[in-house]
Structure 1
Amino acid sequence: MNGPLLVLALLVTRELTFETPEACPAFYGVLTTVTLALPPPMLNETLDLVEATNAEKVALEKIQDCFAEKGLVNRLNHLRITVIYSLPALTYS
């Protein structure tokens, strides 16, 4: 219980902040690339923008493979639902 209280205290005192406006474009870029199962060079290029480690790249490639197994309609629905339910990140700035 002490861990969450510490994080909350740091957030309240603004010692721990998140760069939300800067993080949103990167998040949606990676999300779109993974969800739509775009070619691996595009995924690597997108992940290079956020300085992802090799382990993170391998993990996201595996997730992307799962999306590739689903049909295009399912991938588009997942992307649409994710964007709709995280609208505050799009409008924050």
Structure 2
Amino acid sequence: MKGTLAVLALLLSGELGLQRGESVVTCPIFYEVFGALSLGSRTLLDGSLSTVNATPAEKEALGKVQDCYNEGGLTAKTLDLQAMTSITTSPECISHSLVTVKENLKSVLPIDR
């Protein structure tokens, strides 16, 4: 169940990013929703999901995931935090983030070559 929650959160972040059409916002949205999910507050979770116009069914589904997190207790939350840290600090993730930032800067700043 613990690994399933992390995978669900990753899938959610990808879907939210695609819906908004901006890959740049995917990462912050992911961490915002994942943080609210793992903190166990339904109010925080609903607020985070409202920023991306989540449907009531999506909010209900993630509320059920949050219930699983709360049942798992501190141990489950700690294990998922470790998994998220290892993903975020992986060379692949860092490389992708740097490439994305570089591309975004090129599109915004006029650079003569």
Matched AA of 2:33: V
Task: Select which of 65, 68, 74 maps to 1:66.
Answer: 68
Aligned residues: 75
Task: Select which of 80, 83, 88 maps to 2:82.
Answer: 80
* CA separation of 1:90 and 1:77: change in aligned 2, threshold 3 A: farther
Of structures 1 and 2, the one scoring higher in RCO (CA 8 A, sep 6+) is 1
RMSD: 2.2
Partner of 1:14: none
1:34 aligns with 2:24: no
The structure richer in helix per residue is 2
What are the ranges of 5 or more consecutive residues in structure 2 without an aligned counterpart?
Answer: 1-20, 102-113
Matched AA of 1:27: F
Q: CA deviation at 1:35?
A: 2.2
TM-score (norm 2): 0.57
Which runs of structure 1 show a deviation greater than 3 angstroms over 4 or more consecutive aligned residues?
none
